């Protein structure tokens, strides 16, 4: 079993301000409750999750109805700061699952499939990807950010498994990667111009990206292919909010 950290400190985006008055994404109403509650419930229902740390605005999160195994932790100003505060609360350096608060369609099955696959690979950081085909079969018409690689077209998930020991020395580079996570071209620029050329021509391979990111961060990374499209549905624009709400009606 592993502990989990939910990143719940993200402020509501300009894209969603017209649709909700909540200042934090985690607190946006989905079917009568804050969407972070759905994420916490999915984790708590998984047989592979032990404790759940919810990092973000403590006063707001205290109003939520979380599972008994959940602990609220004050978040930071950035995603990486919030991750660092969550990691400090763990009290250990074992592999830990990190999950964003804006994926209310997350299921225990998706969590368990990801963690089970991770268990067969030795790495410091595990990141899931979903094929465009799997995503569009599950959520036809939903717009995602895709990357074309030699093996196919993929979108990223919004959970990852991490060795807490790597967090301190990865802070600066990780912030840049996170800031450009919705822009595949800029991500390739961070990797180097050889990657940009290969990306443009669709010849870039998964194992090349995996190795290069690991080299930049000074860690060993592993890309995990998941069939669970729910991992990629993060609520960051009106169409996502409408889709998620429709799934609970």
Q: What CA–CA distances, in Å, run from 125 to 104, 132, 181, 198, 219?
A: 23, 23, 16, 24, 8
Q: Which distant-in-sequence residues (6+ apart) come within 8 Å of 132 by Cβ?
A: 144, 146, 152, 153, 154, 155
Q: Name the DSSP class of 12.
A: P
Q: Range with the lowest mean pLDDT among 69-73, 123-127, 206-210?
A: 206-210
CATH 3.90.550.10 fits 2-247, yes or no: yes
Say if CB 151 and CB 241 are below 8 A apart: no
138-196: per-residue pLDDT in tens? 999 898 888 888 999 999 899 999 999 888 877 666 666 666 666 767 766 766 767 66
Q: Name the DSSP class of 13.
A: P
42-87: per-residue pLDDT in tens? 999 999 999 999 999 999 999 999 999 899 999 988 888 888 899 9
Q: How far apart are the first and last CA of the chain?
A: 33
- Residue by residue, what is the 3-state secondary structure of 15-30? CCCCCCCCCEHHHCEE
Q: What is the pTM of this model?
A: 0.89
Kindly tell me the burial class for residue 102, based on how many C-beta atoms sit within 10 Å of its own C-beta (0-12, 13-18, 19 or more): buried
């Amino acid at each position: 079993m592993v502990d989990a950290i939910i990143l719940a400190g993200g402020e509501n985006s300009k894209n969603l301000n017209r649709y909700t008055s909540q200042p934090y994404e985690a607190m946006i109403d989905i079917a009568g409750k804050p969407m972070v509650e759905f994420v916490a419930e999915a984790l708590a229902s998984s047989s592979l999750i032990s404790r759940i740390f919810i990092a973000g605005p403590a006063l707001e999160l205290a109003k939520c109805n979380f599972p008994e195994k959940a602990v609220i932790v004050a978040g930071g100003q950035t995603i990486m700061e919030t991750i660092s505060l969550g990691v400090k609360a763990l009290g250990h350096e074992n592999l830990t699952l990190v999950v964003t608060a804006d994926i209310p369609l997350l299921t225990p099955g998706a969590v368990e499939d990801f963690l089970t696959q991770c268990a067969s690979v030795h790495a410091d950081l595990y990141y899931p990807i979903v094929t465009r085909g799997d995503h569009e079969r599950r959520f036809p018409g939903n717009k995602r950010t895709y990357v074309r690689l030699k093996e196919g077209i993929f979108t990223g998930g919004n959970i990852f498994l991490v060795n807490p020991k790597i967090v301190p020395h990865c802070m600066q580079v990780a912030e840049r990667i996170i800031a450009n996570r919705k822009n595949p071209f800029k991500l390739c620029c961070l990797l180097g111009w050889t990657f940009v050329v290969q990306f443009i021509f669709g010849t870039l391979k998964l194992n090349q990206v995996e190795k290069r990111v690991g080299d930049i961060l000074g860690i060993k990374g592993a890309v995990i292919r998941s069939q669970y499209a729910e991992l990629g549905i993060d609520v960051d624009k009106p169409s996502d909010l409408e889709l998620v709400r429709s799934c609970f009606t």
